Structure 1
């Protein structure tokens, strides 16, 4: 009778290779979508959880026959499910009221579960889960975007210099590309520029919607190029304009000299 508490080196190798394959298959989609946790991260999580599952089942086989020892193959696996949360939390980012990375965090958690399945030898479930996750991440993402693009509101926060016409230039861009402003909140502030001049600024938070989502990226590029814009954050293009700060400062100095 075959001992259920032992496993060959060949079987160990096969399970780890399958783990790398399944984790990489899911991570590839995240990598192509430019997410923080991508190809290598998912492979490492899947291999790691597989190793822990194998250790939990087969790593303590020498103690199985001891009278006072209780073997629980699920004990270490339970710690993987609990502990993987720290990695998922690191993939979640919050910018104001905008939250991103939830899907990546969920994919990391699922990859850990797939690794545990492979480590336990539950291959059919592991392969089925891998296929379903890839379909959900890749195919359903396109379906969701197609179905929700007419109803979904997008939030953009723009930090710009508070001078006449600055805000009007931004709102006119939205109108030109048929982007409706559902809500707008303004907050006054001031900022010391690199030339030592303190300028009045404002933070404007927009809620936007449109029937033509392809225009969002065009408008975002035009806003970034605006000389009055200091910084911008959005759910579809989170960025700071530090790389343009020097150019903006030079432009401000030229405008100041022109007005003298």
Structure 2
């Protein structure tokens, strides 16, 4: 792997994270361009460090262990943006947490240069982020569902 190849993989992982972060910024969410840019970059760095034969290391299981560690660790970072306010029935931050996890996954994919996966995943990701909310609201309105859960009344189990 050349230095230019490494730079390209890291740059694409960072750029993808920053674009996803911009979406979160525009929606006033707690993670933004810098955070998700760093998540993508960090995931790519961790994987490149074990797949580049010029770098020390080289255990046969190293890549799978690093990927597992990155995705597990990012799960904890994502959990930090999930909140439930006092007295609120609604949990907030799930989409942002999922976006953080997907950003790390895409950073891993950039590190292994699986560009066809990136080309397929990005349109799907933006479809969900940009159109998922309106589609979900429309379906709830059409079929009589509620957008948010209401707290159960005392002595009654939720449906």
Aligning the two structures, in what range does the TM-score lie when normalised by the shorter sequence? Answer: 0.7 to 0.9
- Equivalenced residue count is 150
Cα RMSD (Å) of the superposition? 2.5
Q: Does the C-alpha gap of structure 1 residues 89 and 63 become closer, same or farther in structure 2, counting only changes over 3 Å? A: closer
Q: 2:56 & 2:146 partners in 1: Cα distance?
A: 58
Label 1:144 to 1:55 Cα distance change in 2 as closer, same or farther (>3 A).
Answer: same
Q: Secondary structure at the match of 1:151?
A: coil
* In structure 2, distance between residues paired with 1:127 and 1:44: 21
Give the structure with the higher percent helix: 2
More strand by share: 1
What residue in structure 1 maps to residue 83 of structure 2? 93
Aligned-pair CA distance for 1:134: 1.2
Structure 2: state its 5+ residue gaps.
155-159
Are 1:122 and 2:114 an aligned pair? yes
Scaled by the length of structure 1, the TM-score of the pair is 0.52
2:26 alignment partner, one of 25, 32, 41:
32
Q: 2:123 matched to 1:131?
A: yes
- Paired with 1:46 and 1:153, the residues of 2 have a C-alpha distance of 31
Partner of 1:84: 74
**Relative contact order (C-alpha < 8 Å, sep 6+): which is higher?**
2
Q: 47, 51, 68: which is aligned to 2:45?
A: 51
- Shift of residue 153, structure 1, vs aligned partner: 5.3
Q: Which ranges of structure 1 fall in alignment gaps of 5 or more residues?
A: 1-6, 158-182, 186-260
Q: How does 1:57-68 map to 2 (within 5 A)?
A: 57-58=51-52, 61-62=55-56
Q: What SS does structure 1 have at the residue aligned with 2:91?
A: strand
Q: Which residues of 2 match residues 206-217 of structure 1 at below 5 A?
A: none
Larger Rg: 1
